[in-house]
Every structure is written in structure tokens, then in C-alpha cells.
Amino acid sequence: MIDFAALMNYAFESRLYLSDIHGIEHWHQVEYNGMLLAKKTGADFDVVRLFAIFHDSRRLDDAYDCDHGARGAEFAKLCREEKRFEIDDERFDLLYQACKFHTVTPRTGNITIDTCFDADRLDLGRVGIPLNPSKMATEWGAKIAQKSLTSGYSVFHMREWIRSLVL
């Protein structure tokens, strides 16, 4: 069993950069988005929750940091080696790939990795970017993004709107 709260706390305390944009609120929203999507896509819940913790944990700043995903993947690897969480090799590989490629790959065809990608992308409203259905990696991510365009909500209120959804 994974103690997600302890792991998130450890990763947050070990982060390289203090960010409001990519900080703990974002990590929690990515976790929520991922769990919402995983119910529909059949993605691996543990991998999605771990992705929320590690995907931005090694950012150096809030600008375009092209290597932060790879650093996050390596941090997840280190935490696993330190026995901070246990997960089998196959599922860890999904987590590693999701972290490493979440900003550079549009979709992979693997439902768990693609669900991780969309969990992050569905929180773009926090920085004023409207959700774009064509940029989503899953059918459900695209449906949510499409619905957001006619929701009447400001992009800055997408978190509240997403939390009100019943899928």
C-alpha cells in the first residue's frame, strides 16, 4: 500500500523550486483530474496519483523547463529505490514515461500514460489557457475540454467547474 499523503509531503518538501503555478494546489488538482478521468478510462489509479506527485516535482522555474519531466521521472525512480513507495516494474515504467514525456508528447496510445497527460492539461486554466479538445490525449479529456468551451466559466475558474462535473 502506498502512503500517498506522506509521499506527496516528502516530494513537496524536496522540491527544487517554490512555485505557486506548479505547486501543491496544482498537484492536488492533477490528482483529482486524474482520478476523475481514470474512472472513465480504466487507467491505473496508483500510477495516476503518483504522476500527480512527481510530474512537476523537479521544476527549476515556472517558465518553459523542458527537462523537468525527465527530472521528475528520475526523482520518482530515486524515491522507489529508497523504498518510499512500492510498485511493480511494469507500472513504474508507465509512471516514469508519463512524467518524462508529459510536456513533449501529445499522446502515446497507452490509456494510463495518456490519462496522466490529460490530468495535467485539464489544469491549464489556472494560467489562463483555455482547454483545447484537440490537445487532449484521451477521449474523456477531449469531451471535458469541449464541454468547458461552452460552460460559461472563465478559464481561471476551470478547477471549480471540473470539480462540479459528474461523469
Q: What is the pLDDT of residues 59-117, one digit of tens each?
A: 877 778 789 999 999 999 999 999 999 999 999 999 999 999 999 999 999 999 999 99
- Report the pLDDT value the prediction gives residue 60, as an integer from 0 to 100: 75
- Report the pLDDT value the prediction gives residue 66, as an integer from 0 to 100: 85
Task: Please count the structural domains in the chain.
Answer: 1
* Domain that residue 99 falls in: 4-164
- Report the pLDDT value the prediction gives residue 42, as an integer from 0 to 100: 98
- Look at residue 30 and tell me whether its pLDDT is greater than 90: yes
Show the DSSP H helices in the chain as ranges.
Answer: 4-13, 24-41, 45-54, 68-81, 89-101, 111-121, 139-148, 158-164
- Look at residue 50 and tell me whether its pLDDT is greater than 80: yes
- Look at residue 21 and tell me whether its pLDDT is greater than 80: no
Q: Could you tell me the pTM of the whole model?
A: 0.95
Tell me the CATH number at 99: 1.10.3210.10
Instruction: Give the percent of the chain with pLDDT over 70.
Output: 100
